[in-house]
Chains A and B, each alone.
Chain A
Amino acid sequence: MKKELTIFDNPRNVKRLRMGFFVVLVLLLIAESFVEMHGYFSVEHFYGFYAVYGFISYVLLIFAAKVLRKIIMRKEDYYDH
């Protein structure tokens, strides 16, 4: 029997991964104060613009897709007859 990877079966590892991810997020926000955000548009100069825009875009995308699903979803065999 070939051995399997089971690293994410352990909830502690998943938790560690999630914590690491949150730390990276915080670091990214802090990093912004050390670099020059020379943007093309004035909105880019708002602190954390990209973080906020990324988050909101994502949430909007998912919720809009859920609405869209109500309109366009059919059974898998829709075209079969």
Chain B
Amino acid sequence: MITNMPPPALIFILGAVLIPFIRGKAKAVYMLALPVVVFITLLNLPLGNSWIVEFWGYELILGRVDKLSLVFAYVFTIMAFLGVLFALHVKDNLQHVSGIVYVGSTLGVVLAGDFLSLYLFWEIMAVASTFLIIASRTKESREAGFRYILIHLIGGLFLLAGIVLYIQKTGTIAFDYIGLTGIESYLIFIGIALNAAAIPLHAWLPDAYPMGTPTSTVFLSAFTTKSAVYLLIRTFPGADILLVIGGLMVSLPIFYAVLENDIRRVLSYSLMNQVGFMLVGIGIGSELALNGAVAHAFCHIIYKALLFMAAGSVLQMTGKIKCTEIGGLYKTMPLTCLFCMVGAASISAFPLFSGFVSKSMIISASGHEQIFLIWLVLQFASTGVVDHAGIKVPFFTFFGHDSGIRAKEPPLNMLLAMGIAAALCVGLGVFYQPLYNLLPFPVHYEPYTGGHVVGQLQLLMFGALAFTLLILSGYYVPEVRSKNLDADWTYRKFGRFAYKVLDKGLNSLNRVSEGVLMGAVKGVVSFFKSATANVALFVSVNIWLALGYRDKRLEIKKNQLYNDIIEGTLPIGIGAAIAISFILLVYILT
């Protein structure tokens, strides 16, 4: 019966098409129903391959169902429900549609049993998430979105090149374990690792995620990186290089998180740090470690979303999100504060909270395999998490210096989403057995031993003692408005600088010939640029007129669209034309 349903990815993606046409309460019910329908579908799926489609002599497998793909599909669907609930009050169809398409494409990636459908959903994921970034409709978010899509299209090209070589070599489009063996495997690895924000391919994440709207960043935090983690578990378990990358990822971002002023950027670096734990787990590659990586992804998706929800609530209710501008909010937002602290306790891996039952598996696995250095780094990083996510985020937001802001609690739907997420965090920490049963390998692990609980509490609480002493003595890093350099400098600054050097140095010779050539090129480019803009304007102005937009509002809409096209911030996807043209339509109409 279930295989008569469309695959989960298509339930979301096709379901998203109807969203703009439904109004009021029905719309809310409809959007919440989508993840529920998908979840029921998942619960009834038989193990093995479903939804096999013939395509040009190849077999597309839209439903590879095993324990590994199922557990990720479950948590992504739960997350979709939380994300939709949190964004329910938002009146912007662009966010709803691209959010749901984004979730759908992620499920497509997770359930894909072949490289062609994987690549298709991969590209849809990149484009749909870009719309969530530019949904803030600010100059900064448009620029960050543009950098984001460029980087991801480049990553997509690596993946595609790898896939083509892989198919040529093996003669099949089906995939499972690959392992780092030939050029094609390295290309595929780079493509996936970029989406996991693996250092040094990470800069897009802290650059773009903090630019989303209060609600869209919650979606962003969950899907791209963890679907990449899923793929790495499937294709490259035990790859030694992941130990190095993971070790760098758990440690380097925490220094940035300590310094960063924007709370959502702190959380973005913290997200990288958490993915680092998962990559270390995949690099270790033992059953315990892989179970740990999966369990940690599961718990992390929920508590990280919870933290981004709390930050989003603060941003929405105060309009501010920088440490230097907020503080003392517990006075009027006690529930948001409480939920944030549950998220903070979970990410810090306090006993009885979800992070404790998942992260410890990875750390224990490193001990089991006697990798002392990694074990030390992971313990160090755990203390780092206590600092930036466990203490800094709640302390500087809700306590610390009183900013004088007296913002109200966010709307009921946002509180509900946070409440459910917080309940899940505690639930997973206390009743961890159901989660352990979902893991890909049989679990022989007990997180709550006396030694483990006491050791972990000592680590966390004496870290907190260090914070207390440092802040009382004035030695703690002061909050400063600033921009901290990261790898994105290479393409945001050095790229421009290198261009200028070449321009000044070499081009005096070429100036004459260039002058002639560039003149012609510029003419052609500007013709096509304005042609696209004019065509789009012509189409949309008529639609807007029909919808009753007049005068000033029409003028604003026209300018917005014209600028978006001229600046190239309307990213047109490569492998995803259909889904994208629909989102584009919504973008024009709203």
Contacts and interface: CB of A to CB of B under 8 A. Distances in A.
A40 B380 CA distance: 16
Contacts, number: 154
B368 A50 contact: no
B502 to A, nearest CB: 20
A38 B451 contact: yes
Nearest to A73: B482
Nearest to A44: B455
A28 B259 contact: no
Contacts of B484: 69, 72-74
Best-buried of B364, B372, B465, B467 by chain A (most CB within 10 Å): B465
15 contacts: A5-B330, A6-B331, A37-B451, A40-B367, A52-B462, A53-B459, A58-B386, A58-B387, A58-B462, A58-B467, A61-B380, A62-B466, A69-B480, A77-B483, A79-B483
A31 B456 CA distance: 12
Interface string B182-215: 0000000000000000000000000000000000
A24 B461 contact: yes
Contact of A40 (B368, B449, B453, B477): B368
Chief secondary structure at chain B's binding surface? helix
Interface in A19-52: 21, 24-25, 28-29, 31-32, 34-41, 44, 48-52
5 closest A-B pairs by beta carbon, nearest first, are A40-B367, A35-B450, A58-B466, A54-B459, A50-B458
Contact of A41 (B375, B459, B467, B470): B375
B497 interface: no
Contacts of A25: 461-462, 465
Binding site secondary structure of chain A: helix
> Which of A4, A50, A73, A79 counts the most B-chain CB atoms under 10 A from its CB?
A50
Contact of A72 (B380, B450, B485): B485
B169 interface: no
B450 A36 contact: yes
Contacts of A61: 254-255, 258, 380, 383-384, 387
A62 B478 CA distance: 11
Interface of A: 2, 4-6, 8, 18, 21, 24-25, 28-29, 31-32, 34-41, 44, 48-55, 57-59, 61-62, 64-66, 68-69, 71-79
**Chain B interface size, under 10 / 10 to 19 / 20 to 34 / 35 or more:** 35 or more
B475 interface: yes
Nearest to B459: A54
Nearest to B139: A80
Contacts of B259: 65, 68-69, 72-73
B44 interface: no
B258 A62 contact: yes
A5 B336 CA distance: 13
A54 B461 contact: yes
A75 B465 contact: no
A72 to B, nearest CB: 4
Interface string B379-406: 1100110110000000000010000001
B332 A2 contact: yes
A62 B476 CA distance: 7
Contacts of A4: 331-332, 406
A34 B455 CA distance: 12
A79 B492 contact: yes
Interface of B: 254-255, 258-259, 330-332, 334, 364, 367-368, 370, 372, 375, 379-380, 383-384, 386-387, 399, 406, 408, 449-451, 453-468, 470, 475-477, 480-486, 492-493
Contacts of B485: 71-74, 78
A36 B451 CA distance: 5
B255 A54 contact: no
B450 A34 contact: yes
B408 A21 contact: no
B460 A54 contact: yes
A62 B468 contact: no
Contacts of B460: 54
Given A5-B330, A6-B331, A65 B477 contact: yes
Nearest to A69: B259
A28 B461 contact: yes
Contacts of B466: 54-55, 58-59, 62
Given A28-B454, A57-B463, A58-B386, 6 more contacts: A5-B331, A21-B461, A28-B457, A41-B375, A76-B482, A78-B483
Nearest to B328: A8
Interface centre among B406, B408, B464 (most CB of A within 10 A): B464
A38 B446 CA distance: 13
Given A58-B386, A65-B258, A40 B463 contact: no
Contacts of B486: 72
Contacts of B456: 50
B475 A62 contact: yes
Contacts of A75: 482-483
A64 B459 CA distance: 19
Contacts of B454: 28, 31-32, 35, 37, 50
A62 B45 CA distance: 49
A66 B477 contact: yes
B384 A39 contact: no
A32 B458 CA distance: 9
A50 to B, nearest CB: 4
Nearest to B472: A18
A40 B370 contact: yes
A50 B455 contact: yes
Nearest to A57: B383
A58 B481 contact: no
Contacts of B375: 40-41
Nearest to B475: A62
A80 to B, nearest CB: 9
